[in-house]
Chains A and B, each alone.
Chain A
């Protein structure tokens, strides 16, 4: 095998500490080395050109770049005329010359040991070819509320096919029933009508109402979805919307559309029908009703899925002290929308109305979160009351009024129009005389108790995740958070769920108002388009199962954070290249060490340990082998070098994608071949990029530590630490501490 080693002096910086020339001399003598080259500026155009020329002329099969951290100059070293998986980066700048700047002798020794093991690793690397796996350019949008409709329009108008499914007979969701939207106070019909006309005119959108997901199979880029559609019992083409069926139906079974609904055709809820009633069939002038119509099953294929399963209003009945359902004129804010829209109660005669905020929200026993919209909703409704008649007396009882950003303007407006805001929540509502509600409240600002009698109390109930979201949890395999909203990396990738090619829009992710729902729908649509474009080329480094070793214990299937594993045709586990996120948690957990990641196999780690010079610092110096998680710990170690923090050269770090990727057999081999301490450094608690990688790593280390105890070895020889990427000090301190401890423990008795 022809191997070239390129040592960079980083314009003399590395050479200031490390004796590069002696290393060049030494390495030239190693077997299989074709060329060892020293360069002052390897990442320069000249440097790259030199490597490319060598690869071409001498036919190098592996290239070792001993220079800076692999997180620098990724672009420059990615195309050397050699498959990029055959190029090995050895981080001698951050981990040797900078980290041990005060100890040149040992830094050189460590560099040599490092070169030796990464050389061995390179010998066992495999070339990998990127896969071409174009996605179907079609998406499924689940939920026909304002978020789902907007996501569909955005995806369709960029030329992709969209299937929009909705479990109710009409699109529009909850907002269709509202009186007005804030902050501009326009009626929902206005916005929805425009959206419906866009849907109608766009051939890319396929709307399936009265439909629900039956099953989902396949994987990202190519999902296969079975949809169940319940019968509408009314022929969409024939119906002329005369309304006669509605008039004759004795059972309230006709679901009649509002003026702007889509599709604007009634539906019959056969569950409410009486057998052999048939009154509607008889009266229909165009013969559009077919009560025997059966449900349909549809089968579609899509590349990506957008969840827009929305929300449900919180039911305040469990808060019995507010007497909802027991006292007259105690209504929820949703009911108040209806009252104001349909003018069921006239507010032209001045009335006294009290709003109670945070009913159910910010309540440990019900909705522990802030429902985001209720403050604005109550302010909107207060403004409505003041608009109908300025003499309406409006009270808002609140914990904290939350009107972020420009919504503050409406809050100010409500105050100026004479809404009375009182900080204090009433504890019990009573009805001393009919139609009146009286209660007493402690005004915590005034330090006084107020006794109040009103004509109506509106409970500002909050937003709770819809049952639809929960039902889909198993079908799609999405992860929900403790409140049953869709879990996501809320800061950086809010629209991504924890499954590839499944995105979320609107209230299924968190409580939000109409404008933010539409925003998030746009973001989800963009993510979908990005996915369509990006997945034409897929990195092939997903884990592979060695079926000669695999015993089908199914641990990988259980532990995979992304549920990427299923059985192949031979009955062995296989990771789905599209669902997998390359964390290696399966590789770390396999009891038979049968799983290897594309760029870092068990075999490579094993041979690295074979050639590792255990006494590179001398016989009595303890040796720590560290596995550093890519997202946090490795960055922190790089950061230490940058900030000039030093640590003992006894530590030796290898990058792994996640702390959970380190297999127990590797640790066992390390300990049993004389390494004094094994350290796994992962993300701080609950910040693991792969959900439970560091938790699993901790549990596995505990098992090994127990085993060491049984073997009468010190259980502290293996250890887990959490390092944030911005916490290099903690890293350096723990290494120093660990070296001291190991010195006290003495040499690993298994070292030969």
Chain B
């Protein structure tokens, strides 16, 4: 099981706990994540400036993975959506020829359409399969209750992602967390966007979006929010104080990555899961399972 590990831009700088926990979780699950230094930005930020440039950037990353003969596993939902969308666009042969011509000009290899792109959570759910994860659980997290935030780009646009999850009623990450013994709640604004993408252009709306979910989950008294994307984590954890200030409330809701939760159930240490980097300390959780 060797996969090209697509980190993206945010994870290696802003979400070290995500990277650390993913690498260590993969290690005990026996999944080899290979670092590819040639990978660049997926193209998401460029999409608002020039669609074709964005497509070229995505295609270049796909071509690199294809050349190495590995499918892509990523941890950022935004990157995965952009790469999957690009894959869908490039099913059109005419467009693919045109893109390949340009790729050649920048010295990249040709993209033929073979490489598969999957988010780590989707990979665990679809390919690794729940029963194999269950076998590796050593400390069931029975007493915990989480609210899961999927992140819009995790399963949308569904046509690009091959309809693997239901955007109105998502279930895959719930499945992964339930396997650890922890409970997950179904809550009304489960599908709400974190709003991070417009933080720079419409900050007020962005913060209000984040506040809604934080308010609800705080009032429900869940142990933590579970996320699967560095951007969502920035919106809910890094900005938690700011958001609180904006709506006149003080939040103290830990935000964990799904990899941290699964790793905890598999007996990985706090350090191996990067809990030290959690800004809202999750001591209540970690102490229980020391």
Q: Which residue of A lies closest to B191 (CB)?
A: A428
A to B CB contacts below 8 Å, 7 in the list = A320-B166, A320-B167, A320-B168, A320-B169, A321-B168, A323-B168, A432-B188
Considering only CB atoms, which chain B residue lies closest to A322 in the complex? B168
Residues of A contacting B: mostly: loop
B204 to chain A, nearest CB (A): 18
Interface size class of A (residues with CB under 8 A): under 10
> A430 an interface residue at 8 Å Cβ cutoff?
yes
Q: Interface size on B (CB < 8 Å)? A: 6
- Report how far A430 CA is from B191 CA in the complex, Å: 11
Chain B: CB-nearest residue to A430: B188
A432 to B219, CA, bound (A): 14
Q: Is A326 an interface residue (CB 8 A)?
A: yes
CA distance A320 to B166 in the complex (A): 8
- Cα distance A323–B188 when bound, in Å? 12
Contacts of B169 in A (CB 8 A): 320, 323, 326
Q: For residues 136 through 175 of chain B, which have their beta carbon under 8 Å from a beta carbon of chain A?
A: 166-169
A323: chain B residues within 8 A (beta carbon): 168-169
Residue of B nearest to A431 (CB): B188
For the complex with contacts A323-B168, A326-B169, A432-B188, 9 further pairs of A-B residues with Cβ separation under 8 Å are A320-B166, A320-B167, A320-B168, A320-B169, A321-B168, A323-B169, A428-B168, A428-B191, A430-B188
Q: How far is the CB of B208 from chain A (nearest CB, A)?
A: 15
CB-defined contacts of A320 to chain B, threshold 8 Å: 166-169
| Nearest-Cβ distance from residue A326 to partner chain B, whole angstroms | 7
Q: When each residue 314-333 of chain A gets 1 if its CB lies under 8 Å from chain B and 0 otherwise, what string results?
A: 00000011010010000000
Minimum CB–CB distance for A29 against chain B, Å? 65
C-alpha gap A202/B169 in the complex (Å): 55
Which residues of B are found within 8 Å of A432, using beta-carbon distances? Answer: 188
Encoded as 1 (CB less than 8 Å from any B CB) or 0, chain A from 439 to 476 comes to: 00000000000000000000000000000000000000
CB distance from A438 to the nearest CB of B (A): 9
- How far, in Å, is A698 (CB) from chain B's closest CB? 24
> A residues 630-648 with Cβ under 8 Å of B?
none
How far is the CB of A168 from the nearest CB of chain B, in Å? 34
Quick one: which of A389-437 are within 8 Å of B by CB? 428, 430, 432
A221 CB → nearest B CB, Å: 50
Residue of A nearest to B159 (CB): A365
User: CA A430 – CA B169 in complex, angstroms?
Assistant: 11
1/0 contact string of B187-214 vs chain A (CB within 8 Å): 0100100000000000000000000000
Contacting B at CB under 8 A, from A290-326, are 320-321, 323, 326
Cα A321 to Cα B167 with chains together (Å): 8
What CA separation (Å) do A323 and B190 show in the bound complex? 14
Name the residue on B nearest A319 (C-beta).
B168
- State the CA gap A533–B168 with chains docked (Å): 59
Closest residue of B by beta carbon distance from A326: B169
Question: How far apart sit A643 and B167, CA to CA, in the bound complex (Å)?
Answer: 62
Write out the residue numbers on chain B whose beta carbons fall within 8 Å of the beta carbon of A428. Answer: 168, 191
Which residues of A lie under 8 Å from residue B168 when comparing CB positions?
A: 320-321, 323, 428
Which residue of the partner chain B has the closest CB to A429?
Answer: B168
Instruction: Count chain A CB atoms within 10 A of each CB in B168, B188, B191 and give the residue with the most.
Output: B168
In Å, the complex CA distance between A428 and B169 comes to: 11
A323 to B167, CA, bound (A): 12
| Residues in A whose Cβ lies below 8 Å from that of B166 | 320
Chain A residue, CB-CB nearest to B168? A320
Docked pose: A463 CA to B45 CA in angstroms: 44
A323 to B191 alpha-carbon distance, docked (Å):
14
A351 to B251, CA, bound (A): 39
Return A324 CB to nearest CB of chain B, in Å: 11
A321 to B166, CA, bound (A): 9
Shortest B163–chain A CB gap in Å is: 10
Task: Tell me the minimal C-beta distance from A112 to chain B in angstroms.
Answer: 55
Distance between Cα atoms of A662 and B191 in the complex (Å): 62
Listed from nearest, the 3 A-B pairs whose CB atoms lie closest are A320-B168, A321-B168, A320-B166
Q: Please, how many angstroms separate the alpha-carbon atoms of A432 and B188 in the complex?
A: 7
CA distance A430 to B189 in the complex (A): 9
- By a CB distance below 8 angstroms, the chain A residues around B188 are 430, 432
- A326→B168 CA distance, assembly (Å): 11
Q: How far is the CB of A400 from chain B (nearest CB, A)?
A: 25
Of chain A, the residue at the smallest CB distance from B188 is A430
Distance from B191 Cβ to chain A, minimum over Cβ atoms (Å): 8
Contacts of A430 in B (CB 8 A): 188
Q: Give, as a whole number of angstroms, the nearest-CB distance from A432 to chain B.
A: 6
Q: How far apart are the CA atoms of A392 and B169 in the complex, in Å?
A: 31
Cβ distance A359 to chain B, nearest Cβ, rounded Å: 14
Give min CB distance, A540 to chain B, whole Å.
52
- The CA of A428 and the CA of B188, in the complex, are separated in Å by 11
Q: Which residue of A lies closest to B169 (CB)?
A: A320
Cβ of B193 to closest chain A Cβ, rounded Å:
13
How far apart are the CA atoms of A432 and B169 in the complex, in Å?
A: 15
Residues of B within 8 A of A326 (CB): 169
Cα distance A511–B169 when bound, in Å? 31
Q: How far is the CA of A320 from the CA of B190 in the complex (A)?
A: 14
Bound-state CA distance A321–B168 (Å) is 5
CB nearest to A427 among chain B residues: B168
CB contact list, B204-258 vs A, under 8 A: none
Please, how many angstroms separate the alpha-carbon atoms of A592 and B172 in the complex?
A: 62
Minimal beta-carbon separation of B190 from chain A (angstroms): 10
Q: How far is the CB of B44 from chain A (nearest CB, A)?
A: 25
B167 — which chain A residues lie within 8 A by C-beta? 320
A444 to chain B, nearest CB (A): 21
Bound: A323/B166 CA distance, A: 12
Assembly CA distance A630 to B191 (angstroms):
61
With both beta carbons as reference points, the residue of chain B lying nearest to A321 in the complex is identified as: B168
- A430 to chain B minimum Cβ distance, whole angstroms, is 5
A351 to nearest B CB, angstroms?
Answer: 22
CB of B213 to closest CB in A, whole Å: 14
Residues A644-690 near B (CB distance < 8 A): none
